[in-house]
Chain A
Amino acid sequence: MNQQRRSVLKYSAIFGLMASAGLISVAQAQEWNKAAFEGKSLDDVFKILGAGSPDKSAAITLNAPDIAENGAVVPVGITTTLKAEQMAILVEKNPSSLAAQFFIPAGTEPFVTTRIKMGQTSNVYGLVKADGKWSMAVKEIKVTLGGCGG
């Protein structure tokens, strides 16, 4: 009897944890992460995302041009063979580094492409969070005409 009660308690604790974990990720996905988008430098954004100093990973591919003629429209895509939960695109020399962040639910392929603005030639970082750990791929994109200034 007592043994059964123990295991019931154990399971309810686990379910409680799962629910709260689920709630947290829902809240994260819905609420715009102001602090992260206002982070001025790469390190700021890494810190806010909880990425620390991510390792470079060969499993992540950053699909982007070597030279962007127009910095206002630079196509950037991230693909990975990792089981990605989140992906982020960062531009080192933009006024705010973080360009976009995506939450990938189970059943969605780890593949996202979008277009970003770049003020000047800069390293672009593709970050992927898989199994709770962030990794990244880096590529320098040369910009001949800036897209941020006026």
Chain B
Amino acid sequence: MADPMRVRAAENGGIVDVKILMKHDMESGQRKDAAGKTIPAWFISTINVKANGKDVLNGQLGPAVSKDPFLNFKYKGAKGDKIVVSWVDSKGDKRTDEATAS
């Protein structure tokens, strides 16, 4: 797992619009496999976004967030801000990706 995520950040009028697309199955723990056994839940549980080393968003997700979670938010920033996105899933897997605001 832990495929790279896509992070886009565009600055406009002092506001940076950040769009994040994470690659994750987000198993809900409600589905059953072909043999009728419940597939255990497996999902991204926490996400942290930093711009130039400062927190701009912290999130906690549940299994009710869609597969390949998408997230869009805005913060006050400038072109060239270094944006670091990291998530941790319910099995302890981690992934960190970076982008630069343009």
**Residues of A near any B CB (own CB < 8 A):** 29-33, 36-37, 72-75, 77, 91, 94-96, 98-105, 107-109, 111-119, 147-150
**Contact of B72 with A116 in the complex, beta carbons under 8 Å:** no
**Contact of B74 with A150 in the complex, beta carbons under 8 Å:** no
**Residues of B near any A CB (own CB < 8 A):** 15, 26, 28, 30-33, 39, 45-46, 48, 54-67, 69-77, 90
A residues near B63, Cβ cutoff 8 Å: 37, 96, 117
B residues near A115, Cβ cutoff 8 Å: 65-66, 69-70
Q: Separation in Å of the A141 CB from the closest CB of chain B?
A: 13
CA distance A74 to B64 in the complex (A): 10
Q: Separation in Å of the A133 CB from the closest CB of chain B?
A: 20
CA distance A77 to B72 in the complex (A): 9
27 contacts between A and B (CB under 8 A): A32-B60, A33-B60, A37-B60, A73-B66, A74-B66, A91-B64, A100-B60, A100-B61, A100-B62, A102-B60, A103-B57, A103-B59, A105-B54, A105-B58, A109-B15, A109-B73, A109-B76, A112-B57, A112-B71, A112-B73, A113-B72, A115-B66, A115-B69, A149-B31, A150-B31, A150-B32, A150-B39
Main secondary structure of the interface of B (DSSP, over half): strand
CA distance A149 to B28 in the complex (A): 9
Contact of B72 among A36, A95, A104, A114 (CB under 8 A): A114
CA distance A129 to B71 in the complex (A): 19
**Contact of A32 with B46 in the complex, beta carbons under 8 Å:** yes
Residues A113 and B56 in contact in the complex (CB < 8 Å), given A91-B64, A98-B62, A99-B64: no
- Could you list 5 further interchain pairs (A-B, Cβ under 8 angstroms) beyond the known A96-B63, A98-B64, A114-B72? A32-B46, A99-B61, A109-B74, A111-B74, A117-B65
CA distance A148 to B69 in the complex (A): 15
Q: Separation in Å of the B48 CB from the closest CB of chain A?
A: 8
Residues A116 and B66 in contact in the complex (CB < 8 Å), given A95-B30, A108-B74, A150-B32: yes
**Contact of A116 with B65 in the complex, beta carbons under 8 Å:** yes
Question: Nearest 7 A-B pairs (CB), nearest first?
Answer: A150-B31, A103-B58, A29-B58, A99-B64, A109-B74, A115-B66, A113-B72
A residues near B69, Cβ cutoff 8 Å: 114-115
